[in-house]
Amino acid sequence: MQHTGRVMPFQIRGRSFTAIVLELTGAADGEFYAALDEKLKQAPHFFMNAPFVLDLDKATGIARSGDMMGLVRELRSRKLSVIGVQNGTFEQNTAALSAGLAPLQGGREVGVEGENAEVDEAFEEEISGSEEAAAVLVTEPVRSGQRIFADRGDLVVVSSVSSGAELIAQGNIHVYGSLRGRALAGVNGDARARIFCQSLEAELIAIAGLYKTSDDLGPDFERKRVQAYLEDDVLRVELLK
């Protein structure tokens, strides 16, 4: 997240991408490459230049940087863009780093396994975000420590949000009450998202990764009916009439 105080030569944001996970079930040996080539023959375009993450949970060997670099070279020669590894041992992660791969945490299943063109298109669609939008409506007070996440649309709270609570939404956030906690709108990078509230007392507000803390917001908007939005990559707050 970036603090919008002055113009920087770069901007840092959070953004999520979908990658293909290749889970090794043993060693990266001849049998592995033969099976891989077989799979690639079935849908060459699907895998070409797609971002790949290697899941090393069941992998054996590849603990030396030489092995890792060899594996990466082999995969890249098949036009597979390996960007990182997951579930590796300490040695495997170290080898990965020296081969220019990032050890990654977390990740959510998204169902991209597919071998034919139809699935190829479905995969494209999912990435462009044409899933059904769904707003989340909350009518009880949002208590300290609670976190409400609207992952496919707006978040509407018809009550107050306590200090220490978090509202996170892909879309807009509307609070018909006092906003005392944190509100993060447009978390998937949607810079058009806005935050609306009837009484701004927030600890932090953010849109598409650009944030302002209570201190930054200053006394002018405290306890007022406001909307917050991004304009030219600056987080602006305006009184609602």
Q: Give the torsion sign (CA, 87, 88, 94, 97).
A: negative
Residues 164-183 touching another protein, rule: CB under 8 A, are 164-165, 180
> d(Cα 224, Cα 236) in Å, to the nearest integer?
14
Amino acid code (one letter) for 147: R
Least separation, in Å, of the C-beta of 213 and another protein? 18
Smallest separation (angstroms) from another protein to the CB of 199: 11
Question: How far is the C-alpha of 182 from the C-alpha of 168, rounded, in Å?
Answer: 8
Please give the Cα distance from 97 to 112 (Å, whole number): 26
> Do the Cβ atoms of 207 and 194 come closer than 8 Å?
yes
Min CB(146)–another protein separation in Å: 5
CB-wise, 124 or 140, nearer to another protein?
140
Rounded Cα distance between 49 and 33, Å, is 17
Asked if 200 contacts 169 with a C-beta cutoff of 8 angstroms, the reply is no
Burial class of 212 by CB neighbour count within 10 A (0 to 12, 13 to 18, 19+): buried
Q: Which residues within the stretch 31-70 sit at the binding site for another protein (CB under 8 A)?
A: none
Number of residues this chain uses to bind another protein (CB under 8 A): 14
Question: Closest approach of Cβ 143 to another protein, in Å?
Answer: 3
Show contacts with another protein in window 64-123 (CB under 8 A): none
Judged by CB under 8 A, which of 2, 4, 18, 163 binds another protein?
163
Strands 210-213, 2-3: pairing is parallel
* Shortest reach from residue 53's CB to another protein, in Å: 34
CB closer to another protein out of 70 and 141: 141
Residue 144 or 213: the one with the smaller Cβ distance to another protein is: 144
| Minimum separation from the CB atom of position 241 to another protein (A) | 25
What's the closest the beta carbon of residue 162 comes to another protein, in angstroms? 5
Query: Mask 123-162, x = binds another protein (CB under 8 A)?
Result: -----------------xxxxxxx------------xx-x
222 belongs to the binding site for another protein (CB under 8 A): no
Of 79 and 143, CB closest to another protein = 143
**54 CB-near residues (< 8 Å, 6+ apart):** 21, 22, 23, 24, 71, 82, 84, 85, 86, 101
CA distance 183 to 202: 8
Decide whether 92 or 199 has the Cβ nearer to another protein: 199
The contact set with another protein (CB under 8 A) reads 140-146, 159-160, 162-165, 180
